[in-house]
Amino acid sequence: MRLELKYFASLRDALGAGGPLDWTPAGAPTAAALRAWLVTQSDAHARVLAPGRAVRVAVDQALADEATPLHDGAEVAFFPPVTGG
């Protein structure tokens, strides 16, 4: 499955902008499965996307949760939660 990854704010600082990704999920292709796989890809990924870290996800520019299914060609963005004032 081909995805377009995007990272924002502090995640972008740690991981770069993202880009195209060819990914073969071991099970159901969900946002949680992608995040779990990404954590295994580098020390930086493990640090900023680790379980328990506050990270939001959007799929095709819509806020999503970890159970959200992914499809071929999906844009998946990861970003830290934002607080307003």
Q: Which domains does the chain have, with CATH numbers?
A: 2-79 (3.10.20.30)
**Global pTM exceeds 0.85:** yes
The secondary structure of residue 85, as a DSSP letter, is: -
pLDDT of residue 32: 96
List per-block mean pLDDT (blocks of 10 residues) for the chain, which spans 85 residues.
Answer: 96 96 96 97 97 95 96 97 64
Ramachandran angles phi, psi of 83, nearest 5°:
-110, 145
Tokens standing for 66?
């970890």
Distance between CA atoms of 30 and 64, rounded to whole angstroms? 10
Nearest-10 Cα torsion for 75, 10, 54, 72: 10
pLDDT of residue 83: 52
pLDDT of residue 82: 76
